[in-house]
Amino acid sequence: MSEQKKAPAATEASDLTKLDSSNINLCSGFGQYHSANNKRDPKAYVGITLKQVTDMLATPPSTAKEQGQWAIFSNLASRDVIEQRKSGEFYALWADIDDPGGEPFQDMFSLACKVLDVDLMGYTSRSATEEKQKCRFIVPLAHPVNGNDFEIMQKILNDKLEAAGIMPDRKTETANQICYLPNKGEFYDWHENPFSGLLSVDTWGDEFHAELEALEAAERERGERLEQSKRKAYERMQSGVKSPIDAFNATYSTVDLLQQYGGKVKADRAVSPLSESGNAQMTIQDNGKLLSHHGSDKEAGLGKTAQSGKAQIIDPWDLFKFFEHGNDESLALKAAGEMFTDANGVSITTQNQRDYMEKQSASPEAIEAVNAMFEKVNPSPAELKQPDQTPKFDFKKFALNGDSEKMQAQMLEDKFVLEGLAILGQATAFYAKPNSGKTLLALYLLCDGIKRGEIEAEDVFYINADDNYKGLVTKLQIAEKYGFNMVAPGFNEFSVNEFALYIAAMIKADDCRGKVIILDTLKKFTNIMDKKVASDFGKYMRGFVSKGGTMILLAHTNKNRDLEGKVVFSGTSDIVDDVDCAYTIDVTESSDFSKTVLFENIKSRGDVEQEVAYSYANNITGATGGYIALLDSVQKVSTADAEEAKRQRGIMDQLEKNSLIIEAIQEALAGGEMKKTDLIDEAHKLSGVSKERVTKTLNAHTGQDWSKGHRWTRRKGEKHSYFYRALHYTDPALGLYEKLSNGE
């Protein structure tokens, strides 16, 4: 693959005014074949900013599409999909409408503005005509997202447009797909809506986390299939399979491996991980192999060329050899030979070595046949008979004896960075749903720790990688007030993609002691859904902490709760396994005026709080102080109130679980008081839920106290009948109604 390079910066960012993402240089080129990897005519990529794209709307060039300018809205100069997913930072989404269905561009743009409710620019494409007004939309982002998150957000964008009746081309859901920029053809029109606000991940928080969970579930299923395949290898060994290649192809699915290495599967077709076009030019054959018409696969030597010479035939072995071992068959054979063992733990390689030695007395033809098959895997007989020259292993070389004084000097005094929650010299993770206040509370506790003299402000580095420009400026003002350091991607040459290198440099220089690094949010620094990537992150985090550093991770929870109604951390368990301490943060009470959240410990090393609650004001506007006033409103909640917060969390969980039926009952009661039997019938029709569940929900939320989860009241009628009315917590007549209901 090509060497990764960042697109050249248009300006050197030296102050906050230059953090505006509209001035970030993005990957661009001219024509479909413009690529640094083009073997016939390689060309370096050019840069373009979103501001320049905006300027092109009103004054577009007019050139043939073959020379038309395109962009990948990432600061990584590459058309390699794997590189973009791993290292790209994307600053905009986009949609390609190739089939407008007879709708005028202006109508589609207006509908998109209404559906998306975010800043948007749109223009008709080079091939648009009066009758067929093909177009593209560009959606600038409030903050950059990585390649994997970009693909998720692209899917959500396309889903929203499709649900509104605008049919987008789904090819845009691949991170390296190029977007052709404004280019005037037979028919040209454009519009811009810069008034709704920039799109952020949190804007689509629920949809985003639902997609993450779906991807995680699919990855788990694929992993389970691969594990099952490995177990079946035992049976193949018993049946006499002696070739690593045969064993590998019999064990693994081509489709599963293709997706593991970055390809995309679409029904019976697929996109190669090496493709720069994003077109699905692979066909999945009945025998499970792939027939690829991607020119990039043929050029790279992936697979075997078909008899026609126009396509590549690709099986699991080809993928394994290419992506795991640089297309080196010797290395792949050695690795595969050790992968497969029989019930006694004997690998194919070992068994073939034994067979080889036994065949020394066999015919020359037999020996030659064995050699031909395994000469790249097995050492020669002479090598096998050589005495072992390896020095005797001594485990004592790992012993730490004699270093206790030096190590004791490295130990930090037990101090709290965040009172009661995060200890200096540890790694602590906080998991919360979007808009739960995790950033607000982290800043409050950090500032409080600085005021109490527990930590040195100049040693704190708050990396704000999940905020818009306005939010960053506000939090920078807080950092300047309290003396800690605020860091942001794209500013002063800081890059989240280089974060591991920064930490490695600190470890090597032994410059970690007392340093506090806060990551907001974790998903910007590692792929929490990928077990290997998350595990690698954990390794250098532990290295930093072992040298006296402190790391605090702010992360998200899953959309769904567990069986006890508690929020659950998102991603694999590797991060929680590697940190010293972990908490979930859950909103237990929310009104127009305040929110209460509960910290619950799920892992600890040290004397930390197991449960603690905080409250803060809700909906403070700029007129009343904005974020600074919000920060000043944070208060620790008493033990009694914390218990009440836990009780409220249970109530909110029930309200969430029963939300569909509650909405149906409230809709039925919108017209006024209803008899119980009539109410159950109507709610059953509106919700589609059984009458039994409707009845249980009706009983569970009947009462006079809104704070206890009650949503309607009842009064007794004649002949054991009951009548229900909606409960409104601001209804001044509620008390009188309850008295009348009770016959007082």
Are the C-beta atoms of residues 529 and 572 closer than 8 Å to each other? yes
The CATH number for 733's domain is 1.10.10
Which ranges in 547-593 belong to alpha helices (H)? 574-578
Q: Residue 134: name the closest of 171, 170, 108 by CA.
A: 108
Query: Do 81 and 127 fall into the same domain?
Result: yes
The domain boundary residue, chosen from 592, 625, 646 = 646
Task: Give the mean pLDDT of 103-130.
Answer: 93
Q: Are 173 and 221 members of one domain?
A: no
Contact 91, 50 (CB under 8 A): yes
- How far apart are alpha carbons 658 and 654 in whole angstroms? 6
Q: Is residue 575 domain-shared with residue 701, that is, in the same domain? A: no
Q: Is 50 exceeded by the pLDDT of residue 462?
A: yes
Residues 549 and 663 in one domain: no
Residue 1 lies in a domain: no
Q: What confidence score (pLDDT) does residue 340 get?
A: 58
Cα dihedral 285, 288, 290, 291, rounded to 10, equals -30
Give the lowest-confidence range in 374-383, 403-412, 460-469: 374-383
Helix (H) or strand (E) holding 339: helix 329-339
Query: What pLDDT score was predicted for residue 645?
Result: 66
Q: What CATH code is carried by the domain that includes residue 507?
A: 3.40.50.300
**Could you give the CA distance from residue 335 to residue 351 in angstroms, rounded to a whole number?**
15
Instruction: Please give the structure tokens belonging to residue 680.
Output: 């159950």
* Cα–Cα distance for residue pair 479/487, rounded to 1 Å: 10
Task: Say yes or no: 520 and 609 in one domain.
Answer: yes
Separation between Cα atoms, residue 624 and residue 594, nearest integer Å: 15
Residues 89 and 230 occupy one common structural domain: no
**Is 658's pLDDT higher than 80?**
yes
φ, ψ at 644 (rounded to 5°):
-65, -35
Task: Reply yes or no on whether the pLDDT at 613 is more than 80.
Answer: yes
Mean pLDDT over 182-201 rounds to 91
Quote the strand ranges of 269-377, DSSP E: 269-271, 282-284, 290-292, 304-305, 312-314
Query: What is the amino acid identity at position 260?
Result: Q
Question: Would you state the pLDDT for residue 254?
Answer: 86
Between 611 and 740, where is the model more confident? Answer: 611
Q: What is the mean pLDDT of residues 395-419?
A: 69
In this model, does residue 686 exceed pLDDT 70?
Answer: yes
User: Who's near 355: CB < 8 A, 6+ residues apart?
Assistant: 242, 370
Question: Concatenated DSSP letters for 346-409?
Answer: -BHHHHHHHHHHHGGGS-HHHHHHHHHHHTTTSPPHHHHHSPP-PPPP-GGGG--TT-HHHHHH
Residue 96 host element (H or E)? strand 89-97
- Write the pLDDT tens digit of every residue in 8-22: 333 333 333 334 678
Among residues 56, 89, 87, 85, which one has the least CA distance to residue 70? 56
* pLDDT attached to residue 736: 36
pTM: 0.45
What's the mean pLDDT in 689-706?
88
Q: Which stretch of 110-119, 152-161, 733-742 has the lowest confidence by average pLDDT?
A: 733-742
**Does some domain include residue 358?**
yes
Asked if the model's pLDDT at residue 4 lies above 50, the reply is: no
pLDDT mean over 162-172: 89
Q: Which domain holds residue 482?
A: 409-646
Q: Are 340 and 347 in contact (CB under 8 A)?
A: yes
Lowest mean pLDDT among 15-24, 82-91, 278-287, 571-580: 15-24
Same domain, 642 and 663: no
Residue with tokens 């905080």: 614
Domain identity same for 84 and 193? yes
> Contact at 8 Å (CB) between 680 and 698?
yes
Q: Are residues 277 and 187 in the same domain?
A: no
Output the CA angle 66-72-78, nearest 5 degrees.
95
Q: Are residues 122 and 241 in the same domain?
A: no
How many C-beta neighbours within 10 Å does residue 75 have?
25
pLDDT of residue 239: 46
**Does the residue 692 lie in any domain?**
yes
Q: What is the mean pLDDT of residues 545-572?
A: 83
| pLDDT attached to residue 371 | 45
Percent of the chain with pLDDT over 70: 80
Using the predicted structure, report yes or no on whether residue 285 has a pLDDT greater than 70. Answer: yes
714-724: pLDDT as tens digits: 998 887 788 99
For the sheet with 635-636, list strands across it: 485-487, 460-464, 516-520, 550-556, 427-432, 581-590, 594-603, 611-617, 635-636
Using alpha carbons, select from 58, 65, 74, 66 the residue that is nearest to residue 21: 74
Structure confidence at residue 154 (pLDDT): 95
Query: What is the arithmetic mean of pLDDT over 295-324?
Result: 85
Identify whether residues 113 and 179 lie together within a single domain: yes
Nearest to 188 by CA among 94, 58, 30, 32: 58
Does residue 460 register a pLDDT over 60?
yes
- For residue 204, tell me if it sits in a domain: no
pLDDT value for 550: 94
Q: Per the domain annotation, does 7 fall within a domain?
A: no
Higher pLDDT, 225 or 62: 62
Q: Provide the pLDDT for residue 325.
A: 74
> Does residue 112 carry a pLDDT above 90?
yes
* Average pLDDT over all residues of the chain: 80
The predicted structure's pLDDT at residue 309: 81
Which residues of 604-717 form beta strands (DSSP E)? 611-617, 635-636, 674-675, 712-716
Alpha carbon distance 316, 320 (integer Å): 6
Q: What is the pLDDT of residues 44-70, one digit of tens each?
A: 999 999 999 999 999 999 998 889 999
Instruction: Pull the structure tokens for residue 679.
Output: 């109410």
Q: Quick one: pLDDT band at residue 6, thresholds 50, 70, 90?
A: very low
| 8-22, 255-269, 344-358: range with lowest mean pLDDT | 8-22
pLDDT of residue 223: 67
Across 239-243, 308-312, 453-457, 737-741, the highest mean pLDDT is recorded for 453-457
pLDDT higher than threshold 70 for residue 352: no
Q: Tell me the CATH number at 143.
A: 3.90.920
- The answer to whether residue 27 is domain-embedded is yes
In-domain check, residue 10: no
Q: Which residues 6+ apart lie within 8 Å of 384 measured at CB?
A: 353, 357
Residue, of 241 and 452, whose pLDDT is higher:
452
Comparing 335-339, 422-426, 525-529, 704-708, the range with the smallest average pLDDT is 335-339
Percentage of the chain surpassing pLDDT 90?
31
Residue with tokens 């300006």: 11
**Of 646, 671, 706, at which residue does a domain stop?**
646
**83 DSSP β-pair partners:** none
Token reading at 661: 């039926």
State how far the Cα of 257 lies from the Cα of 350, in Å rounded to an integer: 26
**DSSP symbol at 452:** T
Q: Are 238 and 339 in contact (CB under 8 A)?
A: no
429 lies in the same domain as 309: no
Residue 472, in any domain of the structure: yes
With bands split at pLDDT 50, 70 and 90, how would you rate the model's confidence at 370?
very low
When computed from its CA atoms, the radius of gyration of the chain, rounded to whole angstroms, is: 31
pLDDT tens for 414-443 read 688 999 899 999 999 999 988 889 999 999
Q: Which two tokens stand for residue 224?
A: 């389970």
Q: What is the rounded distance in angstroms from the CA atom of residue 613 to the CA atom of residue 644?
A: 10
Q: Count of domains in the chain?
A: 4
Of the residues 199, 219, 239, the one at which a domain ends: 199
Measured CA to CA, the distance from residue 62 to residue 182 in angstroms comes to 9
Per-residue pLDDT averaged across 382-395, rounded?
53
d(CA 675, CA 691) in angstroms, rounded, equals 15
